[in-house]
Amino acid sequence: MNHYTYEELPEGHEESFCVDVTDDKMECFYRITQDENPLHRDAAFAKRMGYDTRVAYGMLTASLLSTLAGVYLPGERSLIHMVETEFPRPVYVGDRLTVTGRVQEKNDRFRTMILKVVIRNQNGEKVCRGKMRVGFLEEKDSRQL
């Protein structure tokens, strides 16, 4: 896990990691959400709708933004304020996703940063693009009240 402070992250700084989309992750997401939508659970239904097979939950892909902020950018002191995501292409079980985040803009007054996020599959196709506003946790006693 990274331990970046606000000062240690310049605009342009980038971090990446890879994740495999597995049946186990699909099942975990179902246990959290009870989202029984057949697009994600029934390959025959998904095919009738024009997909190769059942489609991974978009919000499962989006959940990787939690890892991006909480482990990489900035890591330990991450506090997510806002997340925006779009899903230009479907993700399937078996896909290997590469999540990349870049510090797009810093706000010195509020000590927050805007991360620009892109997630690509193993073919280099963009399956998710997003933006996050992330702040930095401070120990309670050291806060300026």
Strand, coil or helix: what is 23?
helix
Nearest to a copy of itself of 38, 94 (CB atom): 38
* Residue 67 in the binding site for a copy of itself (CB under 8 A): yes
Question: What are the angstrom distances between the C-alpha of 60 and each of 16, 49, 113, 143?
Answer: 18, 20, 23, 34
Rounded (10°) CA dihedral 45, 50, 53, 57:
-80
Other C-beta atoms closer than 10 Å to the C-beta of 105 total 12
Nearest to a copy of itself of 11, 86 (CB atom): 86
* Residue 57 in the binding site for a copy of itself (CB under 8 A): yes
Nearest to a copy of itself of 12, 139 (CB atom): 139
Site string for a copy of itself, 68-107 (x = CB under 8 A): --xx---xx-xxxxxxxxxx--------------------
* Residue 44 in the binding site for a copy of itself (CB under 8 A): no
Strand, coil or helix: what is 14?
strand
Other C-beta atoms closer than 10 Å to the C-beta of 138 total 14
Please give the residue ranges that form the binding site for a copy of itself (CB under 8 A): 1, 19, 24-25, 28-29, 31-40, 48-50, 57-60, 62-67, 70-71, 75-76, 78-87, 137-140, 143
